[in-house]
Structure 1
Amino acid sequence: MKDQTLTFAAICQVAHHVQQVSHHNRINEEDMAVLLNSLIQMSPENTLAVYGSDMINLKQGLELLVEHLGDSSNNAKKDKDPEFTRYLINLINLERRLNKQPKQLSLLGERLEACNRQLDHYPITSETLIASFASIYSDIISPLGASIQVTGNPAILKQTNNQHKIRALLLSGIRAAVLWRQVGGKRRNILFHRKKIISTAKELLNSI
């Protein structure tokens, strides 16, 4: 349950940052680096190692998970964010499609290895690496169908560098969804084990 909670928190964190970029052109380098680094961790020691082996790197995602899945009946903010929910569902659904395409999975691994080699010359948050991750999303994930429609400020979304950031973030969301499935995450768990997931997230937050 701990690993399922951490990986679902990572998906939440991605959805949040996609919203921040698309609506406000806002993401700091540290937050971007945490998510992009997850793309090149091919043989991690454990789930948390994918995100830098420090729980604080997923603190925001854990908080979002509690806020989003928590019971809002006694909360002044009763309305959940439908855009945020849509991103979560779409990322999970796209990963399911990817998992049924072994050739695309193999190609994805090859392309990510190529990005890993680029790290000899460029930092992970450089425009070059972000553009490379974005092209992987466009070439491999988008053709799977049920593409994610990102909404936001049209002026922000027109900018190529923001388009690249959003696609790179979405690719990291697919990575998180892969991990979530690998540790036993299922869509029905969100419905039937919601209280346990929230409880686990709170415990993890308290340990930070």
Structure 2
Amino acid sequence: MQKSWRNIAIALAGMTQCARQVEELAKTGYLKTEVFETAVKSLINTDPSSAEDVFGGLEAVQPGLSTLKDILEDHRSPGNADILRYVLGAVVLQKRLARRKDVLYIIGNRLEKVSQQVEHFGCSHDNVVSNIADIYTDTISKFPYRIQVTGEFNYLQQERVAAQIRSLLFAAIRAATLWRQAGGTRWHMLFYRSKMLAATEQLLQRA
């Protein structure tokens, strides 16, 4: 994929959107169905034609673009701390996953079955969510590094919420793969915020 700030911003928006939904779900127990379905679709979209096509179009990542804009304008805000932590965690896990071709092969095969399930049940059906969460648990959760999700104990202890969170983290890692393919690096987050902000604002005007 050709490097461009536009594609980097789209991928970051995908990560940010998943991270924000993880935060909201862990703290309130509330799941935005459209955001979750966008995440699931990104996992099973194996042949996207563009960066935005991974998520089903720019409109599908509008919430993520808005959150990304807020973070780029004030990345030191305490209100963004958990979101940033989840995004950075996804970047770390994606880098480790990329080195494990054996794990990637397993994930690819199992996601094909998820795709078949989605055709029958839809993206947010409990069977689909459980299957995606199981893939995450059996593969990425085995890595020494793990993303620690903070929130209300009563919500985090619910199996359904836990499965939804794992699915969203999985999708954030998928978006991190796109971010790497688009030329994204951690240095961009530190030294090129103005360029990413400009690209994000342009995308928001079109979303």
TM-score with structure 2 setting the length: 0.94
Partner of residue 198, structure 1? 197
What secondary structure does 2:195 align onto? Answer: helix
Q: How does 1:38-49 map to 2 (within 5 A)?
A: 38-49=42-53
Alignment check: 8 A CA contact 2:21 2:32 kept: no
Partner of residue 98, structure 1? 97
- Which stretches of structure 1, 4 residues or more, deviate above 6 A after TM superposition? none
Equivalent pairs: percent with the same residue? 31
Structure 1 distance, partners of 2:183, 2:109, is 25
C-alpha distance 46-99 of structure 1, shift in aligned 2 (>3 A): same
Structure 2 distance, partners of 1:155, 1:80, is 21
1:59 corresponds to 2:62: yes
Q: CA deviation at 1:122?
A: 1.5
Structure 2 distance, partners of 1:80, 1:119, is 34
Partner of residue 68, structure 1? 71
1:160 corresponds to 2:159: yes
Q: CA deviation at 1:120?
A: 3.5
Count of residue correspondences: 203
Alignment check: 8 A CA contact 1:66 1:198 kept: yes
Unpaired runs of 5+ in structure 2?
none
Q: Larger deviation: 194-203 or 113-122?
A: 113-122
Unpaired runs of 5+ in structure 1?
none
Alignment check: 8 A CA contact 2:69 2:197 kept: yes
What secondary structure does 1:150 align onto? Answer: coil
CA offsets per residue over residues 27-59 of structure 1, 9 Å max, x none?
Answer: 122111111110000011111111112x12111
Alignment check: 8 A CA contact 2:17 2:35 kept: no
Structure 2 distance, partners of 1:110, 1:159, is 28
TM-score with structure 1 setting the length: 0.93
